[in-house]
A and B are shown apart, each in its own frame.
Chain A
């Protein structure tokens, strides 16, 4: 069934969109990532104009994250206090990110820089997670499942403005979470994603939060940041396609529910290694696009606007 998207001005198969939404939704629920880093390139691939894909994806992430976070709320795996601190940073970061984005746009190299951002961040984050999870699995097999000591005292514990985060079992300064929120917000706005794939490792490795709490909390934070981004895109660029969003989110919310259930039955290390693999695959694909000779050296854009 073909459907014409009013803002994107292209006609696409409705079931293809439902399927894509569902697939990405499952991953979103399993790993606590919005799935934007996967969905946005997929939308480019099926012929949605990039500006519309990025803006609409932000709206879809709101839906799948909301659906996912409700399930986590019920299981009490959301650290609301930590989430609010991260959100405060995230909103500041997103606003800064939009400024940076517009500056890059004026220089005419925004596509390249967005892609390079993807390759660098996905590569580093995916690589680190993969190695770490592999080591964790090997260790737990050898030592008969004795958990490795995670929390060492480091510079993070020496900072002022300490706050107690009961759900995470942490007593740390608010400065690192706010900084993480700002950094992720900037990247999220530039790359047009929720930022979960950076947020999740940052929470685990920098803040030292337990993996089970990390997923719910990152979903909680993503909702606010992507809702803010959606409004920015809708009011300044008019690129949010509501029909596209509805089709993606019908698939997405159902997928997210299934994904959350699957996530409960998997071990944290297995979840992390799967997420690392996913991130590395997307990174590899984007890197190949930059390295291989493209079949068409020319690209068309709207004149005057850029």
Chain B
């Protein structure tokens, strides 16, 4: 609870002091997973609202992140034992987002300092939490790195530098690709405005990713009425088997 409070304070402080604020638009605030879902592209755009003239210090930079729901992940490592590759140890990464994309308006190390990254958990490495990682296992960090590497290969994690377009330090826009292998849940979109690597304003909104229609129906049924669902699967299987047999007999007799 205390940690939450501190986190809330950290988030609240800079927003209060901000002279520049984000006004956000999304091309869609919900993603419907239908039977023919093949990924989706979300356009995130907005403007910077300010009462004062544009500060003539460093130019304004924008960071956009979209993250899926957090889950614990069990990472296993293989080692060669007696000639074959065997899982030898495992580390539980307490929390890793199922999907994470960071888009920036300039190279990452120019738009955000390490300290600000630590505070706001913007980069992929910071978004993964592994406080309870067992220290007795050699190189626990390797396990957290493995999560990033494996998910990046599956197009679930990505850093896209220079993909946020900023006009006149006021308008910004970017497109985030959501792959086809999305899981359900509340996705969070965060927008950070930074100057000389410091966050001057941030904004957060939710994108609802849900199964709909037949997908929803089947998923719910499999969880709530598993026995009926199992019987239905078997009935379909037997009917299909019989149907094919009968159809082929007809074909052959004609």
Contact = CB atoms under 8 A, between A and B. Distances in A.
Interface of A: 1-4, 6-7, 9-11, 47, 59-60, 62-68, 70-71, 108-109, 111-112, 227, 230-231, 233-236, 238, 240, 242-243, 245-246, 249-250, 253-254, 256-257, 290-294, 296-304, 306
Give the size category of B's interface with A: 35 or more
A301 B74 contact: yes
A70 B219 contact: no
Given A1-B36, A67-B242, A242-B232, A7 B218 contact: yes
Contact of A302 (B73, B85, B245): B73
B222 interface: yes
A108 B90 contact: yes
A33 to B, nearest CB: 15
A296 B39 CA distance: 26
A62 B240 CA distance: 10
Given A230-B230, A242-B218, A257-B248, A62 B237 contact: yes
Given A2-B180, A4-B215, A300-B73, A240 B222 contact: yes
A6 B74 contact: no
A48 to B, nearest CB: 11
Contact of A6 (B143, B181, B211): B211
A275 B36 CA distance: 37
Contacts of A238: 222-223, 226
A9 B181 contact: yes
A1 B236 CA distance: 22
A234 B222 contact: yes
B53 interface: no
B37 to A, nearest CB: 4
B73 A4 contact: no
Contact of B78 (A6, A250, A294): A294
Contacts of A302: 71-74
A235 B244 CA distance: 28
B118 interface: no
Contacts of A297: 77-79, 146
Given A9-B181, A233-B230, 4 more contacts: A63-B240, A68-B241, A70-B242, A227-B234
Interface string B212-237: 00111011001100110111111011
Contacts of B165: none
Interface in B64-88: 71-80, 83-87
B87 A303 contact: no
Interface string B18-47: 000000000000000111111100000000
A296 B184 CA distance: 27
B55 interface: no
Nearest to A254: B244
B92 interface: yes
13 contacts: A6-B222, A11-B37, A230-B237, A242-B222, A242-B233, A250-B240, A253-B245, A257-B244, A290-B85, A293-B80, A300-B151, A302-B73, A303-B72
Given A66-B237, A240-B233, A257-B248, A10 B181 contact: yes
B101 interface: no
A291 to B, nearest CB: 6
Contacts of B183: 9
B74 A249 contact: no
B48 interface: no
B245 A71 contact: yes
B147 interface: yes
A3 B35 contact: yes
B146 A298 contact: yes
A108 to B, nearest CB: 7
Contact of A293 (B35, B85, B216): B85
B7 interface: no
Given A231-B234, A234-B230, A299 B75 contact: yes
A47 B39 CA distance: 16
A4 B36 contact: yes
B233 A245 contact: yes
A2 B237 contact: no
A297 B71 CA distance: 21
B74 A231 contact: no
Nearest to A9: B183
A66 B241 contact: yes
Nearest to B236: A246
Contacts of B85: 290-294
Interface string B152-177: 01000000000000000000000000
A296 B85 CA distance: 11
B34 to A, nearest CB: 7
